[in-house]
Structure 1
Amino acid sequence: MNADVHSLSAAYALDALDADERVEFEAHLADCADCTAEVAEFGAVAGALGDATEQAPPPHLKSAIMSQLDDVPQEHETWPAPSASVTSLTERRRSFSMAQLLSAAAAITLIAVGAIVLAGTRGGGSDFDDVVAAPDAVVTDLAGEAGTIEIVWSAELDQVAVRGEGLADLSDEQRYALWAIVDGVPVAAGLFEADGGRFQEVAAIADVDAEAWGVTIESAEGSDAPTSDIILFADV
């Protein structure tokens, strides 16, 4: 076994070794804890790549990521001058396989981060504006000592856009809870967290014909019915 046997872990995990190399490496693997750990790590990454192909990212997310990657300067490999030590095709294949593995893992991370960022922007400007622009949008303003909240409700979109200002920032265990009053009964319509006294969110609320809106302060987990006094209220 050559001195570079420890560098074969990635190629082994990717099934990129030939039969003789595999037999030799497996013999070495039985007595090498470091290589055993590396093979397990590379195998986990390869498994993640296989799972990731089951759910393709949205086309617009992929395009956005790839356009950003296009702007990143690429390192070009400089081939050394011919010498007595010639890199074999097998070694070059192992190097390429390792690069593929790391690049693919990085791509998964980018896509995952992009998905998280997109999820975090739900209720942002575009969604809020969509509800406001809905033909059936009904606007209700709630104002009082606790602050002001503008509610825009669209039955057609089954969404309610909520924008608050002048509100107290609550503890991590508390949230502002919006209630749609239907036939005198409060129906949960979303939890909201103020940052610097403000928030702007969009929540899904289906099959509700609200006659009024109310706001209470509840636990971060929410509740089926108000557990505290209503701090803001207005009829539709």
Structure 2
Amino acid sequence: MALHALQALSEAESAVVCAHLAQCALCRDELAELSGNVAMIGLGVRQHSVPAGSRQRFLDRVAADASLSEQSAKQEKRKQVLPFPYKAWIPWATAAALAILAISLFVKNTALHQELADASGKVTDLKGQSARAQQVLDLLTSHSAQRVLLTASKTPAEPTGRAIYLADSGSLIFQANNLKLLASDKTYELWVIPAKGKPIPAGLFRSDATGNASVVLPPLHRGVPAKAFGVTIEKAEGSDTPTAPIILLGTTASAAGE
């Protein structure tokens, strides 16, 4: 179902899956959930503008080429009109022209090195984006990832939250719905509650006008097993420890079994 949601199957394989979906309500529900998860991959990609200064560097190179051509033409004209007594100056003029050429080549070389550095930076950024997208995809399709539904604590289950967590890589995606809008000096904070130790802050977030919010790949340490996830309301700058009450709480399957 995950490959079908990602449109990674062949036409023949997709046809078989579609035929099964027409008869199986359980698989249709699973496909709907996976499709929603796949849509969150776009949240992990950042956009980049054209490197600053590219246009000015191009104009500077054109101006340098034009200046070099003009200097060469003047030197050639002087060679043609100089009377015999001034021919002794020709070697000096040639040396000056070569110096100008050397300076021009140095400027061009410096500009090319700068452009190469900019291009290398863009390649590094693209690699980072690709790695982030792959991490999101691995998390969404992993059979080992913990999928936890968070519900309102001690109140009707109107706000809900869903967490997908992979302890081995420290990858976490959280999505909430039907949250209430908070005052400007308040924020929601997500917590990873480990099997041992204190709750770990996993990101601040605020809901949009429709009550939806998400936290994608917050910076977490790898290899920390979680027994539960919670959401609290904190001050705008967040908190190092949860402030009661926990408005959303969900335990993992392993913790529920205990």
Q: TM-score, normalised by structure 2?
A: 0.47
Say which of 93, 98, 109 aligns to 1:89.
Answer: 98
How big is the shift at 1:202?
Answer: 1.4
For residues 157-176 of structure 1, the aligned pairs below 5 Å read 157-167=169-179, 175-176=187-188
Residue 226 of structure 2: SS of its match in structure 1? coil
Q: 1:129 to 1:218 in 2, by over 3 A?
A: farther
Give 1:231's aligned residue: 247
Residue 88 of structure 1: SS of its match in structure 2? helix
d(CA) in 1 for partners of 2:104, 2:158: 63
For residues 79-228 of structure 1, the aligned pairs below 5 Å read 80=69, 83-85=73-75, 88-109=97-118, 111-112=120-121, 125-144=133-152, 147-167=159-179, 175-182=187-194, 186-194=198-206, 196=208, 197-203=212-218, 204-219=220-235, 222-228=238-244
Q: TM-score, normalised by structure 1?
A: 0.50
Residue 188 of structure 2: SS of its match in structure 1? strand
1:124–1:200 CA contact under 8 A, matched in 2? no
Q: 1:129 to 1:163 in 2, by over 3 A?
A: farther
d(CA) in 1 for partners of 2:125, 2:251: 36
Q: Which amino acid aligns with 1:202?
A: L
Residue 73 of structure 2: SS of its match in structure 1? coil
Residue 192 of structure 2: SS of its match in structure 1? strand
How big is the shift at 1:115?
Answer: 5.1
How big is the shift at 1:178?
Answer: 2.0
1:168–1:194 CA contact under 8 A, matched in 2? no
Unaligned runs of 5+ in 2: 1-49, 77-95, 253-258
Q: 1:135 to 1:233 in 2, by over 3 A?
A: same
After superposition, give the CA deviation of every residue in 1:21-44 in whole Å (9 maximum; x if it has no partner): xxxxxxxxxxxxxxxxxxxxxxxx
Q: 1:199 to 1:180 in 2, by over 3 A?
A: closer
How big is the shift at 1:188?
Answer: 0.9
How big is the shift at 1:132?
Answer: 2.2
1:132–1:152 CA contact under 8 A, matched in 2? yes
After superposition, give the CA deviation of every residue in 1:173-214 in whole Å (9 maximum; x if it has no partner): 765322223458652141143474433411334343322210
d(CA) in 1 for partners of 2:123, 2:207: 23
Residue 96 of structure 1: SS of its match in structure 2? helix
RMSD between aligned residues? 4.3
Larger Rg, first or second structure (1 or 2): 2
Give 1:22's aligned residue: none
Q: Which amino acid aligns with 1:235?
A: T
After superposition, give the CA deviation of every residue in 1:124-183 in whole Å (9 maximum; x if it has no partner): 643222112223111001244784332112233333222344546768876532222345
Q: How many residues are paired up?
A: 165
